[in-house]
Amino acid sequence: MPTMLDMAIDATLKRFMADNGPLSVTYVEKYGVQMPMFAQAPANLADFYTYFCGVHAEKEFLVDGDARLTFGEVYAAARAIAGGLVEGYDLQKGDRVGIAARNSANWMILNMAIILAGGVSTLLNGWWQGQELADGIKMVDCRYVLADDQRAARLEGCDIGACEILLFQHDCPPLDGLSILLAKGGGADTQLPKMDPLDNATILYTSGSTGQSKGAYSDHRSVVQGTMSYVSQSMIFFDLLSAGGATLPAQPSALVNVPLFHVTASVPLVLQSYAIGRKLVLMPKWDAEEAMRLIEKEK
């Protein structure tokens, strides 16, 4: 028998879905099947970034050590770096660009820039050792891999085919840490490609429970729609809490305590944060005492 909460959730969902509301649904054919999707969602991940960074431009987004960056600042940095990839590195739509690094604000900005530039952001497992990293790179034919010093050292002497390793740095302003991508030209004024909903957007790796990990592609529409499924849940519960008189924080915030290369961080944590204007607090490596300090400080 439905509880009062069940009925309240259903009523809120119906209201959000009605009359071209934020959760209204349309249908698209895929594999010969009519599949539902959120009608109001951006058509691709590049437009998703652009739209929500504009909506939340003045809000604080990334806290990483001493760095505190707004949504607007993050987008501006990613847009400039995307231009460097396109003009300076001749990145073509659909080229796979790997990231092999620990968590950081510059990791997140790089990931965003690859998408804006039309690349397929390939999230290499930062815990892999040299041959594992090399196998992941060759499996999906990465054109470039952006690596921090530690992961680049692991790859020394490994066969990575024609892929080029480019170094980037953490713990510094994004245009400094990712300056290698601006060194050959291009920037914020460089024209970027228009992305189709069915263009590939990301590659994440499976767990390897049936053998070697495998690179799994997702297209732009799939990533956006998956993200909006999480957003819809948050919208409903924010609305229910507000209607019930709960005092909500001025801005949601979350500690990034999972690796950014994993889907748990990539979609429900990071991508959802763009849509709901959530602040993300990073730490370079898990430490329980530091986590408690950040939780108290950053609310």
pLDDT in tens, 28-70: 998 899 999 999 999 999 999 999 999 999 999 999 999 999 9
Q: What is the mean pLDDT of residues 268-285?
A: 97
User: For residue 21, what are the contacts with CB-CB under 8 A and spacing of at least 6?
Assistant: 15, 40
Q: Which fold has domain 44-298?
A: Rossmann fold (3.40.50)
* Structural tokens at position 221: 């529409």
Q: What is the pLDDT of residues 139-169, one digit of tens each?
A: 999 999 999 999 999 999 999 999 999 999 9
The residues facing 205 across adjacent strands are: 215
What is d(CA 299, CA 293) in angstroms, rounded to the nearest whole number?
10
Contacts of 9 (CB under 8 A, 6+ apart): 236, 240
Contacts of 5 (CB under 8 A, 6+ apart): none
Q: Find how far residue 43's CA is from the centre of its chain.
A: 16
Domain boundaries, the chain: 1-40, 44-298
pTM of the entire predicted model: 0.95
pLDDT for residue 209? 75
**Mean of per-residue pLDDT scores for the chain:** 96
